[in-house]
Structure 1
Amino acid sequence: MSECQLIVGGGVLGLLSAYALASAGNHVALFDSQSVGAESSWAGGGIVSPLYPWRYSPAVTALAHWSQDFYPWLGEQLLAQTQIDPEVYVTGLYWLDLDDEADALAWARREERPLQCVDVAAVERAVPALAKSFGRVLHMADVANVRNPRLVKALRAALQQMPNVTMHEHCAVSGFIREGGRVTGVHTAQGDMYADQVVLAAGAWSGELMKTLGIELPVVPVKGQMILYKCREDFLPAIVLAKGRYAIPRRDGHVLIGSTLEHAGFDKTPTDEALASLKASAVELLPALADAELVGHWAGLRPGSPEGIPFIGPVPGHDGLWLNCGHYRNGLVLAPASCQLLADLMLRREPIVDPAPYAPAGRLALAG
């Protein structure tokens, strides 16, 4: 017998959770306080890799590797279903002048990933726009980026085609309905809504909602600002990354530069200071951007969490409530694996990876 599941949050984690659960035949209702995909899922860069994968725990690595292998299929599936191309674009990624190059290479050997040192002159031939100021380069050829605004648009369209999915946009959730020790629904702007299970996938806002249950979920907003240039289509053939800043090429010649890391609460106002800093980084990486057309500057809020390890699984003492949140800088990277794992746990299937590192049990506290 199919169950009814209610998802709070319409970012890529909420959308893919709905897609996975509905594909298994369940009835899914998804709620977002605005249009789906309008927050960090839209604002991010879309690199299908952690920026520095060797600096993360094995828990993040496990989800990243599964998702990286899955993304090409997901892009093809969504294009076939919706005629909207998420543009999963395999460009490779160059890391420039790393301080921890030896750690990166050791990680690659251990994880059997195709990361290698490459000759600077060869990189300069492959990426002519790159500044000539770098001395050492690591390269991974199979890294892709996804055009995240198109990904959420495709997911929204796919869900709209499914008769067992309803989407409630511009419908804020203010808290949870509890009956005994069980969560049975949510309070919304359109009234109380009930379900067999509730999934919280509200990104940076997840911690605020958990406080309504007296639970301290360590997920906090971390602001990130980015800028966008319009260049010719062949200007940048690969992702380049130096000093924590990156340039991401889109197929049509747009180049994203990101990103800042700011603790500013829920303020998403773009600032002149960040704009100047991002433009300086852009020109340091790709000098010709000094004369390129700047076409965008925006900010989003990442769901910061301890060590960037997401919370995926049931909430102890609150039967019926599940978490899929706290992915910090890697929401788009980890989303396919995170949502598959969530669905596996909720549907009592064999999980794709060991769920223990992501379990909320032992990682939550009572709100003060």
Structure 2
Amino acid sequence: MIRECDSAEVVVIGAGILGLLSGLMLAREGLQVVLVEQGKAGSEASWAGGGIVSPLYPWRYSTAVTALAHWSQDFYPQLGERLLAETGIDPQVHVTGLYWLDLEDEAEALAWARKFDRPLRPVSMEAVHAAVPPLGAGFSSAIFMANVANVRNPRLLQALRASLERMPNVRLIEQCEVTGFLREGERIVGVESSQGALRGENVVVTAGAWSGNLLAGLGLELPVKPMKGQMILFKCAEDFLPSMVMAKGRYAIPRRDGHILVGSTLEDVGFDKVPTEDALESLQASAYELLPALQEATVLKHWAGLRPGSPDGIPYIGAVAGAEGLWLNCGHFRNGLVLAPASCRLLTDLMQKREPLIDPEPYRPRLSARSA
């Protein structure tokens, strides 16, 4: 519960990957941090995603997304090692490489790789079938990037939470819905919540798909909305699938213990996150086309999450003009986990008024007033 006159140097709204990692980086700077989560920490989109440490089609994104992705990809191995050492929980940063099959824009992908010096190359289908024996027979071309990893996102979230809980300058308040902001003149000085008021010298919105609703309470238009995604999970032998594979917008991701994730849908249906039979059938069809042997495997789980959809997938990171003390780190769309380390480091740099790791201008919040 929030105690009367509670206050902190930083109040973080939302405890998904962006909130937990923002809180951790800010706390490591010595700041007093309180994280406020409307449900259970790490239980929304960050938990529901596949955990590929790359945008699905990185060459189709702007250089703003690419800059965050490349820094984060390089950072993930050391993040995983540090969290394991600190908490005993292994996020399983698992480098498998990724095969893209039958791309219509293969030439653009290879040109992007040359431009950014990424190890993406064409491979023969004979080589692909030799490397990935369970792959289906209906594909004609492939490109491969060897250094792409996936992370077991539920374990990453558990490790981040455990690391935060070890820090005396961090407090996590769950089952606590933020209902508005405390304001003194042009400055945001805290939040109103279902458990009472909480004052903060700075407030950071990392509320995923709910971020736009929060900013609406200040009369600001933040074009972030929920985009539903559904996935399914199979259990196979540990060595069943040695690499990630992707075709026609669907992917299969191997975990170290043999679990295979297949995803995902992209649905504009508001805040509905109920799994549907139509999506299950569509995902199964994609799974069986990619990996026919999965027809003999059982679907262990089928779930849905809500991505924070934003224009062009470029997140909002930085201070909000006209609302001093209010900061955003949200709107990462399909790439929240991929971009989280660089996004949270950039936010921390800006809040600490030091040279940022990359140019912050593409992510600067430019919010308009909501129309009546």
8 Å Cα contact 1:95/1:241 also seen in 2: yes
Provide the residue aligned with 1:330 in structure 2.
Answer: 335
Alignment partner of 1:84: what SS? coil
Task: Check if 1:58 corresponds to 2:78.
Answer: no
- Work out the CA distance in 1 between the residues paired with 2:192 and 2:224: 21
Task: Check if 1:188 corresponds to 2:181.
Answer: no
Provide the residue aligned with 1:168 in structure 2.
Answer: 173
Identity percentage over the alignment? 65
- Work out the CA distance in 1 between the residues paired with 2:268 and 2:298: 29
Provide the residue aligned with 1:92 in structure 2.
Answer: 97
Aligned partner of 2:370: which letter?
A: L
Aligned partner of 2:65: which letter?
A: V
Provide the residue aligned with 1:150 in structure 2.
Answer: 155
Provide the residue aligned with 1:15 in structure 2.
Answer: 20
Provide the residue aligned with 1:366 in structure 2.
Answer: 370
1:286 Cα offset (Å): 0.2
Which of residues 70, 74, 78 in structure 1 aligns to 2:79? 74
User: Where in structure 2 are the equivalents of 1:16-35 lying within 5 Å?
Assistant: 16-35=21-40
8 Å Cα contact 1:12/1:335 also seen in 2: yes
| 1:88-132 CA-partner distances (Å, limit 9, x unpaired) | 000000000000000000000000000000111011011000001
What is the count of residue pairs matched by the alignment? 365
Provide the residue aligned with 2:244 in structure 1.
Answer: 239
User: Where in structure 2 are the equivalents of 1:90-129 lying within 5 Å?
Assistant: 90-129=95-134
Provide the residue aligned with 1:286 in structure 2.
Answer: 291
TM-score by length of structure 1 reads 0.98
1:133 Cα offset (Å): 1.2
- Work out the CA distance in 2 between the residues paired with 1:175 and 1:10: 17
Provide the residue aligned with 1:352 in structure 2.
Answer: 357
8 Å Cα contact 1:49/1:333 also seen in 2: yes
1:364 Cα offset (Å): 3.6
Which of residues 131, 135, 139 in structure 1 aligns to 2:140? 135
1:346 Cα offset (Å): 0.3
- Work out the CA distance in 1 between the residues paired with 2:331 and 2:371: 17
- Work out the CA distance in 2 between the residues paired with 1:194 and 1:290: 54
Provide the residue aligned with 1:264 in structure 2.
Answer: 269
1:190 Cα offset (Å): 1.3
- Work out the CA distance in 1 between the residues paired with 2:149 and 2:369: 37
Question: Residue 91 and residue 19 in structure 1: after superposition, are their counterparts in 2 closer, same or farther (change >3 A)?
Answer: same
- Work out the CA distance in 2 between the residues paired with 1:123 and 1:262: 31
- Work out the CA distance in 1 between the residues paired with 2:39 and 2:371: 27
Alignment partner of 1:237: what SS? coil
- Work out the CA distance in 2 between the residues paired with 1:170 and 1:42: 17
1:189 Cα offset (Å): 1.3
Aligned partner of 2:197: which letter?
A: D
- Work out the CA distance in 1 between the residues paired with 2:331 and 2:246: 24
Which of residues 78, 82, 88 in structure 2 aligns to 1:83? 88
1:276 Cα offset (Å): 0.2
CA RMSD in angstroms comes to: 0.7
Provide the residue aligned with 1:311 in structure 2.
Answer: 316
Alignment partner of 1:94: what SS? strand
Which of residues 33, 52, 65 in structure 2 aligns to 1:47? 52
Which of residues 6, 9, 22 in structure 1 aligns to 2:11? 6
Aligned partner of 2:25: which letter?
A: A
Aligned partner of 1:366: which letter?
A: R
8 Å Cα contact 1:217/1:365 also seen in 2: no
1:367 Cα offset (Å): 4.2
- Work out the CA distance in 1 between the residues paired with 2:212 and 2:56: 25
Structure 2's unaligned 5+ residue stretches are: 1-7
8 Å Cα contact 1:228/1:257 also seen in 2: yes
- Work out the CA distance in 2 between the residues paired with 1:365 and 1:284: 47
1:366 Cα offset (Å): 2.8
TM-score by length of structure 2 reads 0.97
Provide the residue aligned with 1:249 in structure 2.
Answer: 254
- Work out the CA distance in 2 between the residues paired with 1:79 and 1:60: 28
8 Å Cα contact 1:211/1:367 also seen in 2: no
- Work out the CA distance in 2 between the residues paired with 1:120 and 1:364: 50
Aligned partner of 2:350: which letter?
A: L
